[in-house]
Amino acid sequence: MDRVIKYIESNYDKYIDELKEFLRIPSISTLPENKSDMQAAARFVADKLKDAGMNRIEIFQTEGHPLIYGEWLGAPGKPTVLIYGHYDVQPVDPLELWDNHPFEPTIKDGKIYARGATDDKGQMFMHIKSVEAYFKTMGHLPLNVKFIIEGEEEIGSTNLTPFLKQNNDLLKCDAVLISDTALFSPGTPTITYGLRGLAYMEVEVTGPNQDLHSGTYGGAVDNPITVLAEIISKLHDKDGRITIAGFYDDVLSLTRKERENFKVLKFKENGFAKQIGLKELKGEKGFTTIERIWARPALDCNGIFGGWTGLGAKTVIPSKATAKISMRLVPHQDPKKIAKLFTKHIKNLAPSTVKVKVRDLHGGYPVITLLDNPATIAASKAMAKAFGKKTVFMREGGSIPIVVEFAKRLKVSPVLMGLGLNTENLHSPNEHFNLNHFKLGIKSSAYFLDEYSK
């Protein structure tokens, strides 16, 4: 073990250079013009798995972006861990708000800035490097390892979901390890045991059959933008609760024990607000901020458009107005059921002066993982060793829809050992990854393989 850790320490600069190379590939999964970059990123991952010492590397082409598989099964009798990550990244806009180009990784104050640095290229790369350290020093791993790396996490894991169903044997394992979440705070080893789910909807309100002059028609017709704004404003009550009938029916209540555990973490509401330029926070009455984010559902309008949105003035009553609305869900809410309740509710709210279309864009199930499962215990010990501190357990407000599929198809309780920070601007300009956490993550991964092999 000492040799593995020493190897990691002495190869740190090389690892960062390789990570930079990875981050230069603009693997934006949602944009058709980046399709060939997705292939290049998949190649990169496959090559690095091979260089690390893994066997049976395969790039599986799908109808979307490729999946990469690799394995090393040279430890019969020992458990098998499946490591998951994603090489796709979010779009970079607004580009003008970046201090450096998103695909020219730049190091400042011990942080590497680039799109995908923390979500998820940097985090996923840690595991390839820990495996490499074992092969280079010991010639073998302490247990069996499989990798499955996808390129469609940011667009709903469309092809990994059926792949899981069809390749149960290939992916069969005793534990799934994922680094795609955050630490509770810088330097605090953290295991995440819950993620929220998601129901993402679009509401389109249509009034007149064409855009109208607001002088010749204004005052005589209902305006779709006003109607949409009214609908949106009715989705919460004065206590910050979501008004959709039946919305809370399946919500798993917080236990007193869990609320106490959250309190022990000493989350600083003031600092949290300040960081994002706010004087005051707002949310569902009766819950603290971390309870609201981790264990309560939320409904947010993500975008709204209609009418004239360009520079200057144009006098127009638009024919249509549209809103994108997401709902973050908690166990045991079902995104399909919630989408139906939402649709019904919106239709009920719509006045007879307009037509309303509701589309279900995509969704994902919330998850809660087991804390007493051997892999979780091993990960918690591993992180504590790497960081020299006690590991804390938290839940998370974000979503990784494939996690539930792993639990369901492979019958294992996934372990979320994330090394990011929620302040690292994932999905926004100046995304970055703390290089100290990168290093601690490689060590945590190495300790995990050792701990779990016991």
Residue 12 and residue 439 in contact, taking contact as beta carbons nearer than 8 Å: yes
* Residues near ligand BES (CB under 6 A), total: 16
Q: From the candidates 88, 174, 180, 291, give the one annotated as an active-site residue.
A: 88
396 binds, among ligand BES, Mn ion, none (CB under 5 to 8 A by kind): ligand BES
Q: Is 153 assigned a catalytic role? A: yes
Q: Is 13 assigned a catalytic role? A: no
CB-nearer residue toward ligand BES: 234 or 336: 336
**Residue 88 interacting with Mn ion (CB under 5 A):** no
Window of 240-248, 279-287, 386-394, 397-405 that interacts with ligand BES by CB under 6 A: 397-405
**Residue 150 interacting with Mn ion (CB under 5 A):** no
Instruction: Please give the angle made by the CA atoms of 24, 171 and 439, to the nearest 5 degrees.
Output: 40
Distance CA 432, CA 383 (A): 21
Residue 202 and residue 361 in contact, taking contact as beta carbons nearer than 8 Å: yes
**Residue 321 interacting with ligand BES (CB under 6 A):** no
**First and final CA of the chain: distance in angstroms?**
13
CB-nearer residue toward ligand BES: 328 or 439: 328
DSSP state string for 278-304: -S-----TT--HHHHHHTS-EEEEEEE
Q: From the candidates 18, 119, 150, 153, give the one annotated as an active-site residue.
A: 153
**Residue 152 interacting with ligand BES (CB under 6 A):** no
Distance CA 404, CA 416 (A): 12
CB-nearer residue toward Mn ion: 180 or 405: 180
Residue 224 and residue 232 in contact, taking contact as beta carbons nearer than 8 Å: no
Q: Please name which of 210, 199, 203, 208 lies closest in space to residue 347, comparing C-alpha atoms.
A: 203
Q: Element (H or E) spanning 439, and its range?
A: helix 435-453
Could you say which residues in the range 276-305 bind ligand BES, by CB under 6 A? none
**Residue 178 interacting with ligand BES (CB under 6 A):** no
Among 64, 105, 156, 366, binds ligand BES (CB under 6 A): 156
CB-nearer residue toward ligand BES: 116 or 318: 116
Q: Please name which of 320, 332, 47, 322 lies closest in space to residue 209, comparing C-alpha atoms.
A: 320
**Residue 64 interacting with ligand BES (CB under 6 A):** no
Distance CA 65, CA 87 (A): 10
Q: For strand 212-213 and strand 316-317, is the pairing parallel, antiparallel, or unpaired? A: antiparallel
Among 119, 291, 424, 431, binds ligand BES (CB under 6 A): 119
- Cβ neighbours for 36, distance < 8 A, ≥ 6 positions apart: none
Q: Please name which of 109, 98, 121 lies closest in space to residue 42, comparing C-alpha atoms.
A: 121
**Residue 398 interacting with ligand BES (CB under 6 A):** yes
451 binds, among Mn ion, ligand BES, none (CB under 5 to 8 A by kind): none
Distance CA 198, CA 338 (A): 9
**Residue 338 interacting with ligand BES (CB under 6 A):** no
Amino acid 74 reads: G
Q: Shortest approach of ligand BES to residue 81 CB, angstroms?
A: 20
363 binds, among ligand BES, Mn ion, none (CB under 5 to 8 A by kind): none
Among 46, 54, 182, 295, binds ligand BES (CB under 6 A): 182
CB-nearer residue toward ligand BES: 200 or 447: 200
Distance CA 361, CA 199 (A): 8
Among 191, 295, 400, 449, binds ligand BES (CB under 6 A): 400
Among 119, 152, 405, 451, binds Mn ion (CB under 5 A): 119
Closest chain position to ligand BES (CB): 398
Binding-residue pattern over the window 194 to 233 for ligand BES, x denoting contact by CB under 6 A: ----x-----------------------------------
398 binds, among Mn ion, ligand BES, none (CB under 5 to 8 A by kind): ligand BES
Helix (H, G, I), strand (E, B) or coil at 117: helix
Q: Please name which of 388, 386, 441 lies closest in space to residue 1, comparing C-alpha atoms.
A: 386
Binding-residue pattern over the window 355 to 394 for ligand BES, x denoting contact by CB under 6 A: ---------x------------------------------
DSSP state string for 210-233: S-EETTTSTTTS--HHHHHHHHHH
- Cβ neighbours for 116, distance < 8 A, ≥ 6 positions apart: 22, 23, 27, 87, 89, 122, 431
Among 29, 190, 399, 444, binds ligand BES (CB under 6 A): 399
Site of interaction with ligand BES (CB under 6 A): 119-120, 153-154, 156, 180-182, 198, 364, 396, 398-401, 422
Residue numbers annotated as active site: 88, 153
Site of interaction with Mn ion (CB under 5 A): 119-120, 180
